[in-house]
Structure 1
Amino acid sequence: MRHILFCGLALLLALATGCDPDRDFLTGEAVNLRFELDTLSFDTVFTQRGSAVQLFLVYNDATDPIMIDRVAVAGRTGVTFNFNIDGTEGPEARDVVIWGKDSIFVFVTAEVDPTAPENISPFIAEDELIFETGNFQESVVLQAFGQNALYLNGFNRGTFFQPICRDGMFTLPVDLPTVIYGSMVIDSCVVQVLAGSRLYFHGGIQKNTELLAGSGIFEDGFIYTLPNGSLQLLGTAEDPVILSTDRLEEPYRESQGAYRGLIFGPLSKNNRIEYAELNNAIAGITVDSLAEVSIDNTVIAFTSGPALSTYQSDVTVRNSLLHSSSGNSVQVVKGGSLTLEHTTVASYSGSDNVALFLLNDIPQCEDNCDPTPLTVRIRNSILSGFDGSELAFGDVTGGSDPRFFDVRIENSVVRTDENFLNAGLGGYPDFYTTICRDCYNLQFDDPLFVSVRQDSFQLDSLSVARDLSVFLPELPTDLVDYPRDTDTPDAGALEYQPEG
């Protein structure tokens, strides 16, 4: 019935605007089209295989009639978009006429199978309806929801929204994935993401001059906590919480910079990340002034910037793996407190970045400013990568006041070179006696992981990280819940597991 109505209405409109074949029409680049809208959105959340119909107008503001050479859907997504323009049904229409000072209707349908695999039918399906005249192309963007999911912000890209909290709590569903189109701001609320939940971000560069000063251009796709807001990702070893781009096709699995990431704003407390996987962000986790975050049994991977970036904040990371970051994997700027225990930081992506960057910068102020105190404690961890030194320290006091640059590393694998240790270059010649105790300085030919190329960061049977650490009773099992040796555990997030 819907198809009959669709075609019948289009036919009536076509008859009402019949054309004279002897007329001369503007064609090619002489055609100037005006569209009622630039994006056509199907905002239905499909619960079964279904079709929705939308329409828009195309205008000819010129006095002379025009002829559009070709209209077609680009066909860039698993969702099927069909159209009918002035009585001609797709997949292609040619020689479409619009009389002078007139317009025509375009009807578009979206057919969705929400049970199709997510790598075939994306959550946010975007395509284009292309209008060709000569060598010139114009288009209208087509958008539809391609999967059953909780779409928290509809199609409102570039906007900020708050979850509706009850009794100070908001819990995302486990039975359906959650898609964030835009960015979530948490205020006076604890947002909990439970074991098995999947959270997908659309992301992209956006502009919002109403809420942001200056140009208003920003990277979309983030969760931001205000001082009275908290975020808790509460996965388990069997059912971790998954965060990634909403493009799940295989080519996007290791993509970087698809969305901004998690941002814990100034003074935000009670933030916990347990058994989670964060992939494809610009910066996996950013922690701002005086915010507090604990990160346990978590993987942060495939970021175009740092996996973890902190500013005068208090961050604890345990039993976690950070890899495939094109920026500094872990960077601490303007002081603060950082604890790493049984954490593997593998910095093997790109160049001019390191596994660990530390700086006790001087904040902007009027007169006689002191540097920001920096306290770092690292135990039983791995800080590795391709560079000669995977550590970069910036102590603005020049070592004159150890209260402002207090760094201790124990029972860990690190990589340093002569430049890092050279006192004449501002290095740390006593690094292995006063800062890094019972540490191993990784050489390029040392065995460490099973395969960096395959992102397999299990320890090799001959790994230099084996038996290097001291047992920590609070961390008896590793990232994947495998028990650690209680006498001589291995450094890093993953305890060596014999084959078989």
Structure 2
Amino acid sequence: MKYIVTALLCFITLVLISSCRNDFEFSASTGDLKFSQDTIYLDTVFSTIGSSTRTFKVYNNSSDDIVIPRVALAQGTNSKYRISVDGVPGQVFEDVELLAKDSMFVFVETTVDIMDFTSDTEFLYEDTIEFDSGGNLQKVELVTLIQDAVFLFPERDAMGIQETILLDTDPDGNELRISGFFLDDNELRFTNEKPYVIYGFAGVPSNKTLTIDPGARIHFHSQSGIIVADEATLKVNGALSMTEELENEVIFEGDRLEPTYDDVAGQWAAIWLTSGSKDHEINYATIKNASVGIIMDNNNPTSNGATLKINNSQILNCSNSALIGTTASIEASNSIFHNSGQSTVVGRFGGEYNFNNCTISNYWNGSFRQDATLFISNAIPNTDFTADLLAANFTNCIIYGDRNIELGLLDDGISAFNFKFENSLIRFNDFSNNFDGLPDYDFNNVNLYQECVFNVDPQFDDVDAFKLRIDNTGGANGIANPTTDTALDISGATRDLVDPDAGAFESTDLSGE
């Protein structure tokens, strides 16, 4: 019997020893985790109301069982987010095990008391979930709006690949794509009930219309924007506002609303009206702090092309240009295009442009600027591409800035180049006589320049604060044509019936302000 017991003990010991195989040894994480999402967007919350729970997965695609030394919220116990890792709640987790070719769930939620925020400078509440540390550190961003909002962003598929929009193919057949998504039918109307926050490019599908109601607020993350496909349309239906809150105007801007970002250009990409899109209308809108406010493409001079009408709107403070039209058909009235790192308004590679009572100005101080505020051409500079400039009419406009030459014209001598300036204020000081003898700059030619005034300061209210009202003693005062001017200015003020002013605003006495 003694020998039987001894043999049994040895057998049990052998089994226990053999069960501690190297198959279950865990290696340290090497920073190669994959995530189903790299940014988690939570519903905005108000006082003591919790958000819905968001879930993402963490993948170990390696052949080794690993241990993640640390999973934690960057703000630790001070964070207003709550997380759980594979069903275990907490804020800091040590030595989290993850088997080879396996995954785990992470759940995120938040409850934010609005009383915790002492001012309206807090627009986004953000934290980060950190996986590991040092050289192996990986992060998943957490974003929550302090006010209620609609988040629109590219989805990820089961493999974690983010949604993109096909733009074109290169000469070798390679696809050119951008991070973005097409709006569903139930997303093609933006209302004023909640602000919209867009990550990536929100695409308007072909044969669809995106309609934006009065008072809507659209915010873009970095490198984000709106892109309108072939045969699609953008309608911005802003209306005149009665207060400084611009309650009826549609505003497009970045998603950082702290005061330090009020005048930071280039925070988001652009509104892109692609070739073949059509019938666009933008009324009472402010587009600010983009790389390019509006890009309008139509590279086929033989087609009817896309059309864009801009009324009573302003495009401000763009790091590149406010408006770029390429063989485009654009009409604008009572609108302001102000401050850009390059030309504020560009009409290139031909097209048709008709501007009335518009202010096109540039006092950019973000970097050195060498381009005129208005540039018109029938070609694309430094290329062989040329197309007819059917018309470029600027009537009752202000074209001004802090450079001596604020009007640039490029005629390649091959395609048509039709333009005319009437009853407009233009800055053009050719101190070096570089433009003498060039027919396009013959300011005495009434077929090109009729009743225009040159180099008399319009006396804007405050160009750095984007206040483009003009004083009643400035150069644009009383020079517009009463038979062609707009009856009301951009603010809804009635224009003088006999001596109206050029530009988007009818003048006022600014001396007392």
Q: How far has the Cα of 1:407 moved from its partner?
A: 1.3
Residue number in structure 2 paired with 1:393: 409
In structure 2, relative to structure 1, the CA distance for the partners of 1:34 and 1:373 (3 Å cut) is: closer
Distance, in Å, in 2 between the alignment partners of 1:346 and 1:479 is: 16
Q: Which runs of structure 2 are paired with 1:352-431 in the superposition (5 Å)?
A: 352-361=370-379, 371-397=387-413, 404-418=416-430, 422-423=434-435, 426=438, 428=440, 430-431=442-443
1:416 and 1:441 in contact (8 A); partners too: yes
In structure 2, relative to structure 1, the CA distance for the partners of 1:38 and 1:252 (3 Å cut) is: farther
2:320 corresponds to which letter in structure 1? G
Q: CA offsets per residue over residues 436-480 of structure 1, 9 Å max, x none?
A: 22222226xx46212222222111353222122222466111111
In structure 2, relative to structure 1, the CA distance for the partners of 1:267 and 1:42 (3 Å cut) is: closer
1:114 and 1:148 in contact (8 A); partners too: no
Residue number in structure 1 paired with 2:480: 469
Judge which range, 98-107 or 173-182, deviates more. 98-107
2:324 corresponds to which letter in structure 1? S
Q: How far has the Cα of 1:193 moved from its partner?
A: 1.0
Q: Which runs of structure 2 are paired with 1:324-343 in the superposition (5 Å)?
A: 324-343=339-358
Q: How far has the Cα of 1:242 moved from its partner?
A: 1.2
Q: CA offsets per residue over residues 265-289 of structure 1, 9 Å max, x none?
A: 3343321111111112221112222
| Structure 2 residue 230 is matched with structure 1 residue 226 | yes
Secondary structure of the residue that 1:376 maps to in structure 2? strand
Q: How far has the Cα of 1:490 moved from its partner?
A: 1.6
Larger Rg: 2
Residue number in structure 1 paired with 2:329: 314
Q: CA offsets per residue over residues 244-284 of structure 1, 9 Å max, x none?
A: 12222222222322333222233433211111111122211
Secondary structure of the residue that 1:200 maps to in structure 2? strand
In structure 2, relative to structure 1, the CA distance for the partners of 1:106 and 1:191 (3 Å cut) is: closer
| Equivalent residue in structure 2 for 1:276, among 279, 282, 285 | 285
Q: CA offsets per residue over residues 308-330 of structure 1, 9 Å max, x none?
A: 11122211111011112112111
1:46 and 1:112 in contact (8 A); partners too: no
2:425 and 2:452 in contact (8 A); partners too: yes
| Structure 2 residue 193 is matched with structure 1 residue 175 | yes
Q: CA offsets per residue over residues 215-268 of structure 1, 9 Å max, x none?
A: xxxxx42231422x2111111111111111222222222232233322223343
Secondary structure of the residue that 2:137 maps to in structure 1? strand
Residue number in structure 2 paired with 1:211: none
Distance, in Å, in 2 between the alignment partners of 1:193 and 1:83 is: 36
Residue number in structure 2 paired with 1:479: 490
1:120 corresponds to which letter in structure 2? E
2:213 corresponds to which letter in structure 1? L
In structure 2, relative to structure 1, the CA distance for the partners of 1:480 and 1:88 (3 Å cut) is: same
1:315 corresponds to which letter in structure 2? I
Residue number in structure 1 paired with 2:50: 50
| Structure 2 residue 196 is matched with structure 1 residue 189 | no
* Runs (5+) with no aligned partner, structure 1: 1-24, 205-219
Q: Which runs of structure 2 are paired with 1:22-41 in the superposition (5 Å)?
A: 32-37=30-35, 39=37
Percent of counterpart pairs with the same letter? 24
2:204 corresponds to which letter in structure 1? V
Secondary structure of the residue that 2:473 maps to in structure 1? coil
2:205 corresponds to which letter in structure 1? I
2:203 corresponds to which letter in structure 1? M
Distance, in Å, in 1 between the alignment partners of 2:203 and 2:221 is: 12
Q: How far has the Cα of 1:389 moved from its partner?
A: 0.2
Residue number in structure 1 paired with 2:470: 459
Distance, in Å, in 1 between the alignment partners of 2:419 and 2:50 is: 59
Distance, in Å, in 1 between the alignment partners of 2:273 and 2:101 is: 53
| Structure 2 residue 250 is matched with structure 1 residue 247 | no
In structure 2, relative to structure 1, the CA distance for the partners of 1:63 and 1:437 (3 Å cut) is: closer
| Structure 2 residue 451 is matched with structure 1 residue 438 | yes
Secondary structure of the residue that 1:136 maps to in structure 2? helix
The aligned length equals 441
1:431 corresponds to which letter in structure 2? F
2:43 and 2:148 in contact (8 A); partners too: yes
Distance, in Å, in 2 between the alignment partners of 1:223 and 1:203 is: 15
| Structure 2 residue 129 is matched with structure 1 residue 129 | yes
2:150 corresponds to which letter in structure 1? L
Q: How far has the Cα of 1:391 moved from its partner?
A: 0.9
Q: How far has the Cα of 1:496 moved from its partner?
A: 1.6
* Runs (5+) with no aligned partner, structure 2: 1-24, 157-162, 164-178, 242-247, 299-304
1:66 and 1:98 in contact (8 A); partners too: yes
Residue number in structure 2 paired with 1:22: none
In structure 2, relative to structure 1, the CA distance for the partners of 1:84 and 1:479 (3 Å cut) is: same
2:413 corresponds to which letter in structure 1? T
Q: How far has the Cα of 1:57 moved from its partner?
A: 4.7
Q: How far has the Cα of 1:394 moved from its partner?
A: 0.5
Residue number in structure 2 paired with 1:291: 306
Residue number in structure 2 paired with 1:16: none
Superposition CA RMSD, Å = 3.9
Q: CA offsets per residue over residues 188-222 of structure 1, 9 Å max, x none?
A: 12322121111222242xxxxxxxxxxxxxxx422
Secondary structure of the residue that 1:331 maps to in structure 2? strand
In structure 2, relative to structure 1, the CA distance for the partners of 1:353 and 1:423 (3 Å cut) is: closer
Q: How far has the Cα of 1:392 moved from its partner?
A: 1.0
Q: Which runs of structure 2 are paired with 1:340-351 in the superposition (5 Å)?
A: 340-349=355-364, 350=367, 351=369
In structure 2, relative to structure 1, the CA distance for the partners of 1:292 and 1:364 (3 Å cut) is: farther
In structure 2, relative to structure 1, the CA distance for the partners of 1:412 and 1:466 (3 Å cut) is: same
Q: How far has the Cα of 1:152 moved from its partner?
A: 4.1
1:119 and 1:247 in contact (8 A); partners too: no
| Equivalent residue in structure 2 for 1:200, among 219, 233, 239 | 219
Distance, in Å, in 2 between the alignment partners of 1:287 and 1:441 is: 30
In structure 2, relative to structure 1, the CA distance for the partners of 1:360 and 1:98 (3 Å cut) is: same
Q: How far has the Cα of 1:426 moved from its partner?
A: 4.7
2:261 corresponds to which letter in structure 1? Y
